[in-house]
Structure 1
Amino acid sequence: MSDASFPEILRRLREERKLTQADLAGNGISRALISLYESGRRTPTYETLAYLAERLQVTVDIFFGSNNEVVQKAMMTLIHQAEQAERQERWHDALEMWESAHSLCEAYHFTTWDFHINAHRGITLANLERYQCAVETLLPLVVDPRLHDNRDVAYDILRGLALSTRQLGQLRMSETFFRLILHLIGPSDERWIRTHINLASIHELLGEHDQAVRHYVTAAESARRMGHAELEAWAIIGWTTAEMSSGMTEHVSLLLDRAHGLADSQQDAYLLYAVRHNRLVLKRIQRDADAFLRDYAILLSEVPSVEWKARLLEEKIKWSLAVQNWDDAEACLHEALKLPVTTPIRAELLMLGGELYKQRGKWGQAETYWLQAVEAFRACGSQLVNHVLRELQRLPRE
Structure 2
Amino acid sequence: MDASFPEILRRLREERNLTQADLAGNGISRALISLYESGRRTPTYETLAYLAERLQVTVDIFFGFNNEVVQKAMMTLIQQAEQAERQERWKDALEMWESAHNLCEAYHFTTWDFHINAHRGITLVNLERYQCAVEILLPLLVDPRLHDNRDVAYDILRGLALSTRQLGQLRMSETFFRLILHLIGPSDERWIRTHINLASIHELLGEHDKAVRHYVAAAESARRMGNAELEAWANIGWTTAEMSSGLTEHVSLLLDRAHSLAKSLQNTYLLYAVRHNRLVLKRIEHDVDGFHREYQTLMEEVPDDEWKARLLEERIKWSLAVGNWDDAEACLHEALGLRVTTPIRAELLMLGGDIYKHRGKWGRAETYWLQALEAFRACASELANHVLRELQRLPRE
Bucket of the pairwise TM-score, normalised by the shorter protein? over 0.9
Corresponding residue SS for 2:36: helix
1:179 aligns to what?
178
Matching residue of 1:25: 24
Deviation (angstroms), 1:155: 0.6
For residues 315 and 154 of structure 1, what CA distance do their matches in structure 2 show? 39
State the secondary structure of the residue aligned to 1:112.
helix
Report the equivalent of 1:386.
Answer: 385
Specify the SS of the correspondent of 1:207.
coil
Q: Deviations over 1:202-247 (max 9, x none)?
A: 0000000000000000000000011100000000000000000000
AA aligned opposite 1:136: E
1:17 is displaced (CA, Å) by: 1.2
CA positional deviation for 1:352? 0.2
* Superposition pairs of residues 297-376 of structure 1, within 5 angstroms: 297-376=296-375
Tell me, what secondary structure is at the counterpart of 1:307?
helix
- 1:62 match: 61
In structure 2, the residue matched to 1:49 is: 48
Alpha-carbon distance, 1:275 to partner: 0.1
Query: Which residue matches 1:270?
Result: 269
Alignment match, 1:120: 119
Alpha-carbon deviations, 1:165-193, whole Å to 9, x = none?
00000000000000000000000000000
Q: Deviation at 1:34? A: 1.1
Q: How far did 1:29 drift?
A: 1.4
Q: In the aligned structure 2, how far is the partner of 1:326 from the partner of 1:53?
A: 74
- How far off is 1:35 after superposition? 1.2
RMSD over aligned CA atoms reads: 0.7
Identity over the aligned pairs, expressed in percent? Answer: 89
Displacement after TM superposition at 1:31 (Å) = 1.6
**Structure-1 residue corresponding to 2:80:** 81
With 301-310 and 33-42 compared, the bigger mean Cα shift is at 33-42
Whole-Å separation in 2 of the counterparts to 1:201 and 1:21: 41
Q: Once the 2 structures are TM-superposed, how far is the Cα of residue 339 of structure 1 from its aligned partner?
A: 0.7
Distance 2:352 2:265 in 1: 38
Q: CA deviation at 1:95?
A: 0.4
Length-normalised TM-score, structure 2: 0.99
Are residue 8 (structure 1) and residue 7 (structure 2) matched? yes
* Amino acid aligned to 1:105: C
Looking at structure 1, the residues matched to 250 and 49 of structure 2 have their Cα atoms a distance apart, in angstroms, of: 63
1:223-242 residue pairs with structure 2 within 5 A? Answer: 223-242=222-241
Amino acid at match of 2:293: R
What does residue range 28-39 of structure 1 map to in structure 2 within 5 Å?
28-39=27-38
Q: How many correspondences in the alignment?
A: 397
Cα distance between partner residues in 2 of 1:313 and 1:131? 26
- How far has the Cα of 1:378 moved from its partner? 0.2
Q: Do structure 1's residue 151 and structure 2's residue 140 form an aligned pair?
A: no
In 1, the alpha carbon distance for the partners of 2:285 and 2:31 equals: 58
- Please give the alpha-carbon distance, in whole angstroms, between the structure 1 residues aligned to 2:30 and 2:280: 54
The Cα shift of 1:27 comes to 1.5
Q: Deviation above 4 Å: which 4+ runs of structure 1?
A: none
Task: Give CA deviations for 1:334-367 in whole Å, capped at 9, x if unaligned.
Answer: 0000111110000000000000000011111100
Q: What 5-or-longer segments of structure 2 have no aligned partner? A: none
- Once residues 356 and 239 of structure 2 are traced to their aligned partners in structure 1, the CA distance between those partners, rounded to angstroms, is 29
Deviates more, 1:331-340 or 1:31-40: 31-40
Alignment of 1:151-230 (within 5 A): 151-230=150-229
Name the counterpart of 2:394.
395
Provide the secondary structure at the position in 2 that maps to 1:100: helix
Deviation digits for residues 77-127 of structure 1, max 9, x if unmatched?
A: 010000000000000000000000000000000000000000110000000
How big is the shift at 1:33? 1.4
- Secondary structure of 1:10 counterpart: helix
Structure 1 Cα separation of the partners of residues 50 and 80 of structure 2: 21
CA deviation map 1:19-58 (0-9, x unaligned): 1112212222122211111111111100110111111111
Does residue 251 in structure 1 map to residue 250 in structure 2?
A: yes
Partners of 1:22 and 1:291 lie apart in 2 by 63
